Amino acid sequence: MAMTSDRIRAVRGEADAQAVCADIRRSGAFVEFASRFMRDDDRKVARNALWILTKATDDELSALQSMLGDFICLAMQTRDSSVRRLSLNVIERLEISKDTLRTDFLDFCLERMTAADELPGAQSLCMKLAYRMCRFYPELEGELMRTLQSMEISYYKPAVRSVRSRIMSGKMR
């Protein structure tokens, strides 16, 4: 079956998402799929496309490494919280090196990980990503730890508390 916006829009559940992912897997067209659908004007198509990408293995997602900047821009620019969370999920599974670190994205993650209006899933992902980026610079890692320590943790959902705890205890990869 050809990959169309209508097919992506029609994805309703896990089985549908897995079926589309399997078709992408067979064609080896992860980059083409992401390029074509992740910024679709139809919110449902963009959201479903990103959700489908989260079904890929880490090896399959590595094909999207060259699109890291595109995913970062999407996460920072979208007003759609689901698109932001799903694009952050993809970013979290890609490699971020000292050479590819973007300070605007680090600032974004530091701000969104504590933002009261952000969903817990996105807060958690931003916290993980901020930690990964700060590890390249000891002074930034210290700043992150001070920020984590100063969080009034009772305001946050369990997912955020768990990530914070793992980072602070040194158990985060």
**Per-residue pLDDT tens digits for 11-52:** 999 999 999 999 999 999 999 999 999 999 999 999 999 999
Residue 67's pLDDT is what? 97
Q: Is the pLDDT of residue 173 over 70?
A: no
User: What is the rounded distance in angstroms from the CA atom of residue 152 to the CA atom of residue 139?
Assistant: 23
Exposed e or buried b per residue across 150-169, where buried means at least 16 C-beta atoms within 10 angstroms of its C-beta: eeeeeebeeebbebbeebee
Mean pLDDT of 48-76: 97
pLDDT band at 168 (very low <50, low <70, confident <90, very high): very high
Structure confidence at residue 108 (pLDDT): 98
% the chain with pLDDT above 90: 92
- Per-residue pLDDT at 49: 98
pLDDT of residue 132: 96
pLDDT at residue 1 is higher than 60: no
Mean pLDDT of the chain: 95
Say yes or no to pLDDT of 103 above 70: yes
Contacts of 106 (CB under 8 A, 6+ apart): 130, 133, 134, 140
**pLDDT reported for residue 111:** 96
Residue 34: alpha-carbon gap to chain centroid: 14
**pLDDT tens by residue, 108-139:** 999 999 998 999 999 999 999 999 999 999 99
What is the per-residue pLDDT for 147?
Answer: 94
Q: Would you tell me how many other CB atoms lie within 10 Å of the CB of residue 1?
A: 7
